[in-house]
Every structure is written in structure tokens, then in C-alpha cells.
Amino acid sequence: MAERALSFGAAARAYERFRPGYPPELADLVLAYADRPLRTALEIGAGTGKATRLFARAGITVTATDPDAAMLAELRAHVPPEVRTVRAAFEELPTDETYDLVYAAAALHWTRPEGRWERVAALLAPGGVFASFGGPLRLGDPAVAESVRRARAPFLDSDEIPSPDGTPETHPMRWPGTELRRHEWFTDVRQSEIARRVTMGADDYVGVLSTVSAYLELPADRREQVLRRIREVLPDRVEVTTDVTVHLARRRPGTSS
């Protein structure tokens, strides 16, 4: 998993170009949940800053962290100058400063399970908000999705990240909400869904796939081959679902991390 977490830097520009951003409703949801001013925020695994800029536009002072220098270089080209950047993995971040908001955009599953929640709690001010959000990009037409699955099969069984704790998607509370509910440092755990469906060109869809860790881990020749095979079975335009699943929790006051 650690190797996959560090596989994105080589595709930083493609990541910025092809990956969809986050809708304004996401910031509205987090701010409404907080029900108090959020002045400072820490992002775990910021990538090229697609979520960073959303919260920075909401007037929050964001510290964006990522272990990959190429990702942070791309991020700096797209975020306001007041955003602070720190090159570090989540596990390396100092806990001598706390934040009103700690969040991860499609990045939490790359962190090590051991001590994950103790560290999140240590980074949050009492009563502060933790948010994790993301979701797969999936083809809306089952027939097209099946054609892509067959084209991909000789190279990859799946290109999605499995649930870190094995909780199925059909469960009322999915990961990481399942873990948050079990920890004494967090309360008021909620799960929400922001539904999105977009249409994009087939080349752009393949561009998104080129930034997915499952493909980035393949040898370059095999990656080019599978992406070419997928492109061959796609219509010129495809409909995709990009639903965002949001998990929110509050740092319980009076607990020690």
C-alpha cells in the first residue's frame, strides 16, 4: 500500500488535468456540520490541491501536506499564496500544532492503520472537525463498463481500492466511519453522499485512469497497452458517476490522545 501511495508523483500534471475537482456543496456540508468558525485546516495527502483550493476559497487558512514533491509543486501552481505546504507523510507530521479542521480527500486509505486515529486526534483542537471524502469514478453504462472490464482483465482484476477494513459498500456506514465510531476520541460520526454524474470524452476518461494507482504500478509498456485497449472499446463520449462519500466526525472534548 505504501508503494501505491507514492506512485502519483510521476503523473502529477495528468492528475491535475484529468481528475475532477470537488463541488462547492462539499465545503458547505463541512462548514454546516462544524457549526462554528473554522479558521485553520490541515489536509492529509493534498495531491495537486483540488480540495485545498475549495477550503481556501471558504476563507480557511490551509496547511496542505503531501509526501510527494512533484504533487506539491503542481499544487503550488493552483492555490492561493497564503496556503502553506509541507512535504511529509501523515505519519511524519508534528503534533505540536492543532487545527480546527483536519481532512483527507481520497487519501486516508494511504495512511498506516497503526496509530491513525490517535494522530488525527492529536492534530485536532478539542471539538475540531475531521472530514474524509472521495469516491470512485465509474462508468454509467453497464455495457460499456463490462467492455472495459474485459479489456482490463488480462492486466488487472480491478482498478479500485478495496475497503481498508472490509466493510462492503452496501453497509449503512462505510469505512472510515466504521472505525471512527469505535474510537473514544470522536463523536457525532456522520456519512453523507453528494451525487454527481458527468459526461466526458473517452480520451479524458482514459486520462483519469492513467492517474489511478493500479495503472501507475504497472510497468510502462503494460500500462500503455491496457489503456490503449480500454480506449478502443469506448464510445467517443462516456457518462460517469463521480459520487462523493463524505464522513464527518468531531474531536470529543475532554479526551486525551
Burial class (CB in 10 A: 0-12, 13-18, 19+), 26: buried
pLDDT along the chain (257 residues), means of 10: 46 92 96 97 97 97 96 96 97 96 97 97 97 96 98 96 93 97 96 96 97 93 98 98 97 73
R_g of the chain computed on alpha carbons: 18
Q: CA dist 190 to 91, 153, 240, Å?
A: 25, 36, 26
Spatial distance between the Cα atoms of 194 and 176, rounded to a whole number of angstroms: 17
Edge-to-edge strand order for the sheet containing 197-201?
A: 138-139, 237-241, 197-201
Q: What dihedral angle (degrees, nearest 10) is formed by the CA atoms of 191, 195, 201, 202? A: 50
Handedness of CA 3, 124, 191, 84 (dihedral sign): negative
The owner of cell 466493510 is: 167
For every residue of 150-161, which 3-state class applies, written as one string?
HHHCCCCCCCCC
Q: Which residues of 167-185 are buried (b: 16+ CB within 10 A; e: fewer)?
A: beeeeeebbbbbbbeebeb
Spatial distance between the Cα atoms of 192 and 141, rounded to a whole number of angstroms: 24
Amino acid 135: pLDDT: 94
What residues contact 163, with CB distance under 8 A and at least 6 apart?
A: 169, 174, 175
DSSP β-ladder status, 237-241 and 138-139? antiparallel
Amino acid 253: pLDDT: 84
Q: What is the pTM (predicted TM-score) of this model? A: 0.93
Amino acid 8: pLDDT: 52
Spatial distance between the Cα atoms of 204 and 17, rounded to a whole number of angstroms: 9
Right CATH for 2-135+166-196+242-251 from 3.40.50.10710, 3.30.1330.120, 3.90.1860.10, 3.40.50.150? 3.40.50.150
Spatial distance between the Cα atoms of 257 and 239, rounded to a whole number of angstroms: 45
